[in-house]
Amino acid sequence: MDLSIVIVSYNVRYFLEQCLHAVQRASAGMATEVFVVDNNSVDGSAQMVAEKFSPVKLIVNHGNMGFARANNQAIRQASGRYVLLLNPDTLVQEDTFRKCIDFMDSQMDIGSLGVKMIDGKGTYLPESKRALPTPMVAFCKVFGLSALFPRSRVFGRYHLGFLDREKVHDVDVLSGAFMFIRMGALEKAGLLDEDFFMYGEDIDLSYRIRQAGFRNVYFPLTTIIHYKGESTRKSSINYVIVFYKAMAIFAGKHFTGKSAWFYRFFIGIAIYFRAMVSVFERFLFGIVNPLLDGLLVYVGYKLALPVWERHLFGQEGGYPSVYLQFVVPAYIGIWLISVFLATGYEKQVRLSDLVKGVVSGLFVILLVYALLPESLRFSRALILFGAAGTLISAVMVRSFLSYLFPERFTLIWSKRKKKIVIIGSVEEAGKVYSLIGQTQVIPELTGVVDPEENHVAPGYIGHIGQIREIVRINRIDELIFCGSDLSSRQIINTMMLVTDTGLEFKIAPPESHSVIGSNTNTGTGELYVLHYNTLSRKVSRRKKWLLDIALSLVFFVVSPVLVWFISNKPGFFRNLVLVLSGSCSWVGYFHTTGGDHPGLPVIRPGILTSCEGMSGADTGMAEKANLNYAKDYRVVNDLQIVLKSVRWLGRHPRWKD
């Protein structure tokens, strides 16, 4: 057996499916075995592997065993001369395995080998090669010196930025996302240390392989895609804590004396420092947009009010001080909340969303204004002025932030649909576009590109060799590759060819119901998934949560009357508390056998279900109802279910038919 491939999976079904298709291609003509160790996923990963990839040796754990322990489970059963630790969110080229084996066969002192990795936008991932995290290297990493001076031999050692990324080098540490290990080296160095739950185990193993007398080699003569590189997780507080605790474990194992004590002390400080930086960064970027909006609107009122008073009353002071102290802040608060609910503070915001938010806030303010006594009605003109000022300030602030931080803030001025090109056969491109059309993300298809170079058959706008010109002339925003028509090598090479154009990339794996990609260098991999994209969206879940709160408040107000129409009255008040506390929702999935919903977006248990009004619904009908509910979620759907089933509002949230 030449190669044993070990993939540890945890709730990444669609990435895993694409990864296994690529592994199958790369294993053709070779003696290989593939292990998938599933760490108790709830998205149907294990079922998918069993149904679609029967030759794979599937190990199903009944809990999350962590990365190191799960890998060791498979390694103990492996029989290959080489073992590859491979992340499920990767895509390997057809000749990747062969190139790695040939190179390692030619130099028997190589214990472990890593390859060049790029992210979902074709950008090089610096974690492809790393240095040992000595106290100095760790200091430069923690305090950002390695990021400021990436090519420095003193400060940039963490990612070895001074080494040519296109040349073979001996390095200290290789990434666990793709770690090609000689079995003999693994037998001498030992298996992965299970004290590391996640992160750090690759550093530890790389170090022990070198201690055992072998070399670790960075091998950039083949390239893979790794959707979730280190950069995608660094802002997570949990990642910061787990990663630096792993460094402390490493120091305790391999450093001795004062250096070990100093390293652990330094790592302890680093954990709190990076955690605080992460919290502050999240808070700052979360609050800066509405804070600047509110500040500008208030300043506008402060400057405009004396002018309006002189116009209306002939002198300043016509309005009481309470107007600027309480009334204007209340107006601003309503507008900010309305813009927030209209998704005006998301990462990507359309101008139309800002308009909707401001107009909705104006409507609420005018409605409240009409209900106030005459003594509290100050001026409709000033309300209209505030609405105009809010819209202008929102556009100005968003434009300014988009210019300073384009990765975090985007303002989309026009309603122009995203323009895409699909590379693949006309037949397969039609299937892919049809799949996307069943989601809420419906881009404009400019045309289909022939995957064969120097060949343009009817129905194509050009061939893959003309892709740069096609992108430039047609102002394309995104390329979608048909995995069944292109090799992984073609996909990766094409991505790297046009990386500088700012394109987005996605891949439709063979025989799949998903389109996989990553639209930012710092964002995690993402999906266009058939049937249930809508409820996967953060804005949809937010609307559902707000509806739950609103309904609960209404139910509480009218409960003296409403309770007489409900069969289980104590249960109704219990459910009010459960919904308001976020433990459940008024409407959720119907619980079929087992209670899980593999592949569907996770939502809170419902008092009522998607099957309300369906008499005698069997499991098949219930699953279809759940699917349709998630696929086309709308607030009005929940309202209809609630209105039709008021009698059952006291039902237990995990009730089954």
- Round to whole Å and give the CA distance between 66 and 44: 19
Amino acid letter at 472?
R
* Cβ proximity of 112 and 186 under 8 Å: no
- Cβ atoms 448, 422 nearer than 8 A: yes
Report which DSSP code applies to 326: I
More confident of the two residues 477 and 99: 99
**Cβ–Cβ < 8 Å for 6, 83:** yes
Strands annotated E in 121-235 = 169-170, 178-182, 215-226
Strand extents, DSSP E, 451-584: 462-463, 478-482, 504-508, 514-518, 526-529
Note whether 239 and 133 are within 8 A (CB): no
Mean pLDDT computed over 473-493 = 91
Give percent above pLDDT 70 in the chain: 83
Q: What's the pLDDT score for residue 601?
A: 72
Residue 386 phi/psi, 5-degree rounding, is -65, -40
Q: What is the share, in percent, of the chain residues with pLDDT greater than 90?
A: 39
CA-to-CA distance for 205 and 186, rounded, in angstroms? 9
Question: Given the structure tokens 């309480």, which residue do they identify?
Answer: 326
Picking from 169-178, 297-306, 322-331, 448-457, which range would have the lowest pLDDT averaged per residue?
448-457
- The secondary structure element, H or E, covering residue 59 is strand 57-61
- The pair of structure tokens assigned to 146 is 């390695």
Of 15-24, 178-187, 241-250, 459-468, the poorest mean pLDDT is in 241-250
Residues whose CB is less than 8 angstroms from the CB of residue 128 and which lie 6 or more positions away in sequence, other chains included: 114, 115, 116, 117, 165, 175, 218, 220
Closest by alpha carbon to 598, among 47, 201, 130, 187? Answer: 47
Cα→Cα distances 482→424, 446, 478, 495, 508, Å: 5, 16, 13, 13, 5
Q: What is the mean pLDDT of the chain?
A: 83
The first and second tokens of residue 471, run together, are 């992108």
Confidence of residue 532 (pLDDT cuts 50, 70, 90): very low
Q: Say which amino acid occupies 484.
A: S
- Rounded to 5 degrees, what are φ and ψ at 202? -70, -35
What DSSP designation does 323 have?
I
Whether the Cβ atoms of residue 104 and residue 110 lie closer than 8 Å to each other: yes
**577-610: per-residue pLDDT in tens?**
999 988 899 998 886 544 455 556 778 888 988 7
Q: 594 vs 396, which has greater pLDDT? A: 396
Q: What is the pLDDT of residue 518?
A: 62
DSSP 107: -
Instruction: State the DSSP string of 115-138.
Output: EEEE-TTS-B-GGGSB----HHHH
Measure Cα distances from 329 to 50, 167, 315, 397, 452 in Å. Answer: 59, 60, 24, 19, 62
DSSP bridge partners of 33: 4
656: left (phi over 0), alpha (psi -120 to 50) or beta: beta
Domains of the chain in sequence order: 3-129+165-229 (3.90.550.10), 283-406 (no CATH), 419-530 (3.40.50.720), 535-648 (no CATH)
Residues listed for the chain: 657
For the sheet containing 526-529, what is the strand order? 462-463, 444-450, 419-423, 478-482, 504-508, 514-518, 526-529
* Residue 234: predicted pLDDT: 47
**List of residues 6+ apart from 603 with CB closer than 8 A:** 535, 541, 544, 585, 588, 589
How would residue 259 be classed by pLDDT, with cut points 50, 70 and 90?
A: low
Which residue has 């649909």 as its token pair? 417
Q: Give tens-digit pLDDT for 30-87.
A: 999 999 999 988 777 888 999 999 999 999 998 888 888 999 999 999 999 999 999 9
Q: Tell which residue, 112, 129, 260, has the closest CA to residue 192.
A: 112
pTM over 0.85: no
Q: Which residues contact 286 (CB under 8 A, 6 or more apart)?
A: none
* Tens-place pLDDT, residues 193-222: 877 766 678 888 998 999 999 999 999 999
DSSP E strand stretches across 519-632:
526-529, 585-588, 606-609
Residue of higher predicted confidence among 289 and 153: 289
Q: What is the DSSP-derived secondary structure letter of residue 176?
A: T
